[in-house]
Amino acid sequence: MSKILVLKSSVLGDASTSNLLVDETVERILGADPAARIVAHDFSVDPIPHLTLDSAAAIRGGEPANDEQAAARTLSDSLVAELKAADTVVIGAPMYNFGIPSALKSWFDHVLRAGVTFRYGEAGPEGLVKGKRAVVILTRGGLYSEGPAQPLDSQEPHLRTMLGFIGITDVTFVRVEKLAFGPEHRDQAIRSARFQIEEALAQPLAEAA
Ligand SMILES: Cc1cc2nc3c(=O)[nH]c(=O)nc-3n(C[C@H](O)[C@H](O)[C@H](O)COP(=O)(O)O)c2cc1C
């Protein structure tokens, strides 16, 4: 039985292309493995709070010194447990102002924890979240995989860095671009995305380890 962690971060609800493709990805996984266990977050409905003085202290170590810190530690522990339990992570990540939605960044802020999801050893940083694969649906209004806007892309490199830092290096980035260029471009981008998702899921999980 596979275990899937699903993270949605679009604010567009039913009109969101990343939400659509994330849902389709989950349906495909369930089609192949009806017993798959799904844990899902939609941060536009149920956001992870941004870091504060208390939550940062709690997440960065030390014993919680007040109720706020205790709650933040509990939340972070729970999000990390969900991540460690999953074998596939499906992320919907629209481009907002050249990067990822702050709601999704808050999730990363709660799961990148020294000594828990990464550690510093003699050889440098080491990710502790091993044997996972991730499928990341990157939606964009414009074109960033090539052309003049390519250097402006802070979405894919940032996600690659954060996932890789905790040990998730088997990542398929599904680029869904030119969504603001009209319905024809959108339809073409979605068709291409479906093909890329199918290819990613066709890889056996063992190769992700
Ligand atoms: C707040 C906000 C900021 C955006 N910033 C960018 C941007 O910097 N570059 C871009 O190409 N598209 C940008 N867009 C367009 C979205 O990336 C595009 O609408 C995409 O389809 C949204 O993803 P979704 O359909 O998965 O929700 C922005 C959209 C919103 C709502």
Cβ–Cβ under 8 Å, residues 1 and 95:
no
pLDDT value of residue 208? 45
pLDDT score of 28 more than 70: yes
Q: How far apart are CA 158 and CA 160, in angstroms?
A: 5
| Residue 209 pLDDT | 44
- Which pTM was predicted? 0.96
Number of the ligand 1 atom closest to the C-alpha atom of 95: 17
CA 114 to centroid of ligand 1, rounded, Å? 32
Ligand 1 pocket check for 13: Cβ under 6 Å: no
Spatial separation of the C-alpha atoms in residues 174 and 153, rounded to whole Å? 14
Q: Is the CB of 101 under 6 A from ligand 1?
A: no
Q: What is the pLDDT of residues 150-192, one digit of tens each?
A: 999 999 999 999 999 999 999 999 999 999 999 999 999 999 9
Atom 4 of ligand 1: nearest residue by CA position? 96
Q: Report whether residue 76 contacts ligand 1, using a CB cutoff of 6 Å.
A: no
